[in-house]
Amino acid sequence: MSSALASSKRPTVVTRPYGGVKAEARRQERRARLLAAGLAVFGQQGYHHTTVRNICDAAGLTERYFYESFKSLRLLFDAVHEQLRDELARLTLPTAETAHLSPLQQVEASLRAWLAFLQTDPRRARIMLIDASVIEDLDAVRPNHAAQAFQARMLLLLERLHPNLSRHGLELELTAAALNGALLSLARTWAQGGFAYGLDVMVHHSMMVFHGLTALHNTLDAAADAHSPRG
């Protein structure tokens, strides 16, 4: 009886065309509907207040089709989060319009794009800044790919801005982690406060951490040069 029950929960695999649409195309269309429902439901009521039934109702699909694409609610959340990260990555990549900017100006352009991305659709902020951090804190076994990607981008940025940080006893990875933490905390505070401050205000405050690091780096460079033997 248990095996019969288990088999009844497995999605039926259909390979024949239906209404002129091939089976794989229909499966991809259902998956896209589930991802859109995930953004809507997770973004409005949060991961911990969402059920598979909520997602299916929003997508207009049965649970059978949910499990056809995702084995669990957590995997759907991960897929929605990854989709948002990919969208954001495309928005913040350097372009021909930003190629002439200084490194700090490019940082500012990327920060503006990131913050606008969150402000434009608060559901994104709920998923990326709030629920994702809570879920990862509770699930230390799973690798936090989002945090790893964010850290990697910050490391590359710091290597461009200040390639000789170690000269002053500043560890690159620790400095990147400090900047990441400050930016995420600032954005989270903004989102939880209903985006009460304007975008320009948030960009200005976000840039403080980079201007502060630049000022410190320049001061340490000047001090080191002042104490170095003159040739």
**One pLDDT digit (tens) per residue for the chain, 231 residues:** 444 444 445 555 445 555 556 888 999 999 999 999 999 999 999 999 999 999 999 999 999 999 999 999 999 999 999 999 999 988 887 776 777 888 889 889 989 999 999 999 999 999 999 998 888 655 555 556 666 777 788 888 888 888 888 888 889 899 888 999 999 999 999 999 999 999 999 999 999 999 999 888 888 877 777 766 654
How many angstroms separate the CA atoms of 52 and 69, rounded? 12
- Of 71, 101, 127, which residue is a domain's last? 71
Residue 121 sits in a domain whose CATH number is: 1.10.357.10
Residue 160 confidence (pLDDT) = 84
What does the CA dihedral 145, 146, 148, 153 come to, rounded to 10 degrees?
140
Identify whether the C-beta of residue 53 lies closer than 8 Å to the C-beta of residue 67.
Answer: no
Instruction: Tell me, yes or no, whether 209 and 104 share the same domain.
Output: yes
Residue 149 confidence (pLDDT) = 74
Using the 8-state DSSP alphabet, how is residue 12 labeled?
P
CA distances (Å), 226 to each of 14, 162, 165, 166, 167, in order? Answer: 75, 19, 17, 18, 14
Residue 148 confidence (pLDDT) = 74
Residue 71 confidence (pLDDT) = 95
Residue 5 confidence (pLDDT) = 43
Residue 42 confidence (pLDDT) = 97
Instruction: Tell me, yes or no, whether 15 and 103 share the same domain.
Output: no
Count the domains in the chain.
Answer: 2
Residue 222 confidence (pLDDT) = 79
Instruction: Tell me, yes or no, whether 42 and 99 share the same domain.
Output: no
Instruction: Tell me, yes or no, whether 122 and 229 share the same domain.
Output: yes
143: domain range?
73-231
Instruction: Tell me, yes or no, whether 11 and 123 share the same domain.
Output: no
Instruction: Tell me, yes or no, whether 29 and 77 share the same domain.
Output: no
Instruction: Tell me, yes or no, whether 40 and 66 share the same domain.
Output: yes
How many angstroms separate the CA atoms of 70 and 56, rounded? 12
Q: Both tokens of residue 53?
A: 């039934």
Residue 33 sits in a domain whose CATH number is: 1.10.10.60
Instruction: Tell me, yes or no, whether 90 and 156 share the same domain.
Output: yes
Q: What is the pTM of this model?
A: 0.80
Instruction: Tell me, yes or no, whether 83 and 16 share the same domain.
Output: no
Give Cβ neighbours of residue 113 (< 8 Å, ≥ 6 apart).
88, 91, 92
Instruction: Tell me, yes or no, whether 60 and 104 share the same domain.
Output: no
- Of 71, 90, 124, which residue is a domain's last? 71
Instruction: Tell me, yes or no, whether 78 and 18 share the same domain.
Output: no
- Of 18, 51, 71, which residue is a domain's last? 71
Instruction: Tell me, yes or no, whether 33 and 88 share the same domain.
Output: no
